Structure 1
C-alpha cells in the first residue's frame, strides 16, 4: 500500500501536500453532495469513477470519501440509529483519520504504481501483481466484517492485465467493499469498467477558489493568480507545478522568443533548450513541452476570435495578435500545434535529446510565423 521509503509516492505532486493530508476540498461541493445523497438515501454504489482534469481535487475527494465511509457507523435501522450525516467531514483526530494519514488503516487498500522489477524506481504503470495484493486484501478482510474501501490512483495507469483483474472485481463486488477509481482520461478506460461505475465529475476551479486552494496547499510568495489561472486551466495541481518549476517564467521566455518572429530570439531559444537537459531536469522538460503546446493553442484560439481573457506573460496579448491576426493564421497554428504535439510525444517515447527536440520545435514555430507573415 505504501511506496518504498527511498522511492517517491507516485500520487504526490512535488511541493504539495499528499491528498490524504488535505482535509478540505474546495470548489467541488456538487460532487460531494451527489455522493452524500446516494449514501443517505441507501443507494450507495459499490464503485465510483472520479473524473475531471488533473489537479482539481479528485484524489483529495477520494481520500475524503474513504475517511467518511470508514469512520461513519452504518445505519442498522434500529431505534437508536444516528442521524444521517450532513457532510463528509471527519475530525482529524478520529482514529480512522489518523490511521489513514499513517497508511495503517486496515480497511483501506491503496492501489497505485509500485516499484519496477529492479526496485530502483517506480514502474510506468500499475501491474497485475499489485492487483493480486488487492484480491488478497479483500479476501482476508471479508471475515472481519465492516466496510472496506479501495482507492485506485489512477485507473488510467492500469496495464491491460491489471485492468482486467479490476474489472472482474467490479463485476463480482465483495460484500461491503467500495471502489474509488480516479481517472484523468476516462474515455481511455475499458468501457466495461466505466459501465460498472457511477461517475463523479469534478470541474476546473474558478479563479477565486484556485487562490484559496493554492494558499491551503502551502504555496508561498507573490502568487500571480490570474496568469497561473490562464496556464493551469483551473487546476491547483497544475498551478503548483507551475509555481514549483517557475512555469510563468518559462512561458514568458517562450513568448519573448517569438515576440519578433519570424526573427526569433536565438539566444533565448538556446537557453530554453539547455534548461531541459539532464535527468535532474526531467520535470522541467515535460513542463516546457506542455507550455509550447499551450502557446500554440492560445495562438490558434486568438486568431479564431477567442483571445485569452487575461495575459499569462508580459505583452502576450500583443504577441498573439501579431502572430495570429485572423482565421487563416488560426488554422495554420492549429495544424502546427497538432504536428508538434505528435512530434513531442514521439520524441519522448524514443528518448530524443531534449535540447534537439526543443530547438526543432522553435524552428517549426518560426517557419509557421514566416508563412503567416507572407500571406
Structure 2
C-alpha cells in the first residue's frame, strides 16, 4: 500500500485509531471495562460491537495503552495498595504511548487484513495472519508482562482464521487480553462470541459527534445538524461525508426528488455524469448510499406521519412529506428501496456503467413517485 492509502483499520481521511487519544460519547463502555479491571474480573476476550465509526477501534487502542502502561496491583507493602484507576486515560508522554504511536510496542499485536503475494490488500483476514500471533506470544513471554491483541475487524476473518483464533480464546496465553472489534457480531462463530465479554458502543449525539470530528481535523460544515442526520452517530461516516462532499450530493439528490413526479432530468443526468467521472469510485459508492438513505427516510416519513429529525438537507422535511404522506406510500418506498439496492449492487458486480446505473435508479424512483400519487 502507498503512504497515502489508509490502513484497513483506518477510516479514510481520519487519523489512525492509535493516534486518537480521546474517545467521546462512550463513557458507559469505558466504565464497564474499568469496573471489570478494578474488581479483578478482567476477561481474556472482549468483543467491541456497535455501528461502524462510533469509536470501537479508538476504545480498543485506549484499552491497550491502559493495560500496557498500568502496573499490576499489589498489596502496596507497608503503605497499602494504591487507589484503583478511575480512567483509561494514559499520559501521551508515557513511554508506552510513545511506543504504540510508533508501532514499536512489543506487548501489542494488531491483526488486520494483510497484503497478498501480489502486494494487494486481501478482502479477508486469513489463517496466516492469526498464526503470526504464535511468534508474538513466544517473543513477548520472557518479560512476564501483559500482552494485548487487537483484531480489526473480527468480522473479516475467514473460517480458518476464525477457528485458529477460537483455539486461542479457548486456551488463552497468560496475562493476555484479546480485543475483537466487530461491526456485525452475527457473522462471528457463536463459540467466539460465547468466549468473549461484550462491550456495546452506541451512536454519538450531536455534541460528542462535533467534538470527535474536531479531533480528526475535519472541517465542520456550517450546518452540523445535516451532517448528524446523515452520519447517524458515526464519526467515520461523518468524516467520509465531509471529505467526499456528501452533504452537497445529498442536497442535490433531495432537490431532484423535489421535482417529482415529473423530475428534472437535466439535474438527474448531471448527477449521474458526476458519478461516472474517472477516479470518482468513492463518490459513486457514496451516492448509492445516500440514495438508500433518502429512500429510507421517505419510508419512515409515511410510516410515522412525520419526517425524521433533524433534516439532512434544506427543505427535506417538506419534500419527504409531500412524496410519502401515508403508510401505503411508505410501503411503496420501502419496497422500491429494497429493489433499487439489489439492482445497484448487481450493477456494480457486473461493472455496469456508473452513469447508466444512477439513471436507472433515478428513473425507478420517478416511476414509484408516479404510482404513489
TM range (shorter): over 0.9
Stretches of structure 1 lacking an aligned partner (at least 5 in a row)? none
Q: Aligned residue for 2:154?
A: 155
Match of 1:69 among 51, 67, 70: 67
Q: Aligned residue for 2:317?
A: 317
User: CA RMSD for the aligned pairs?
Assistant: 1.6
Are the counterparts in 2 of residues 256 and 265 from structure 1 also a CA contact under 8 Å?
Answer: no
**Residues 363 and 242 (structure 1), Cα distance of their counterparts in 2 relative to 1, 3 Å cut:** same
**1:37 and 1:346 mapped to 2: Cα distance?**
47
Task: Write the mapping of 1:132-281 to structure 2, written as runs, cut at 5 A.
Answer: 132-277=131-276, 280-281=279-280
Answer yes or no: is 1:42 the counterpart of 2:47.
no
**2:84 and 2:134 mapped to 1: Cα distance?**
32
Are the counterparts in 1 of residues 14 and 216 from structure 2 also a CA contact under 8 Å?
Answer: yes
Are the counterparts in 1 of residues 76 and 82 from structure 2 also a CA contact under 8 Å?
Answer: no
**1:302 and 1:281 mapped to 2: Cα distance?**
31
**2:347 and 2:73 mapped to 1: Cα distance?**
55
Give secondary structure in 2 for the equivalent of 1:351.
Answer: coil
Q: Aligned residue for 1:58?
A: 56
**2:208 and 2:76 mapped to 1: Cα distance?**
41
Are the counterparts in 1 of residues 6 and 12 from structure 2 also a CA contact under 8 Å?
Answer: no
Give secondary structure in 2 for the equivalent of 1:89.
Answer: coil
**Residues 330 and 252 (structure 1), Cα distance of their counterparts in 2 relative to 1, 3 Å cut:** same
TM score, norm. by length of structure 2: 0.95
TM score, norm. by length of structure 1: 0.95
- Answer with 256-265 or 295-304: which moved more: 256-265
**1:312 and 1:70 mapped to 2: Cα distance?**
42
Q: How many residues align?
A: 370
**2:162 and 2:17 mapped to 1: Cα distance?**
23
- CA drift of 1:7 comes to 4.8
Are the counterparts in 2 of residues 50 and 199 from structure 1 also a CA contact under 8 Å?
Answer: yes
Are the counterparts in 1 of residues 219 and 242 from structure 2 also a CA contact under 8 Å?
Answer: no
Are the counterparts in 1 of residues 296 and 333 from structure 2 also a CA contact under 8 Å?
Answer: yes
- Answer with 290-299 or 235-244: which moved more: 235-244
Give secondary structure in 1 for the equivalent of 2:167.
Answer: helix
- Answer with 159-168 or 137-146: which moved more: 137-146
**Residues 30 and 221 (structure 1), Cα distance of their counterparts in 2 relative to 1, 3 Å cut:** closer
- CA drift of 1:311 comes to 1.5
Give secondary structure in 1 for the equivalent of 2:178.
Answer: strand
Q: Aligned residue for 1:22?
A: 20
**2:357 and 2:70 mapped to 1: Cα distance?**
53
- Answer with 308-317 or 220-229: which moved more: 220-229
Q: Aligned residue for 1:289?
A: 288
**Residues 35 and 253 (structure 1), Cα distance of their counterparts in 2 relative to 1, 3 Å cut:** same
**2:289 and 2:133 mapped to 1: Cα distance?**
35
Are the counterparts in 2 of residues 55 and 237 from structure 1 also a CA contact under 8 Å?
Answer: yes
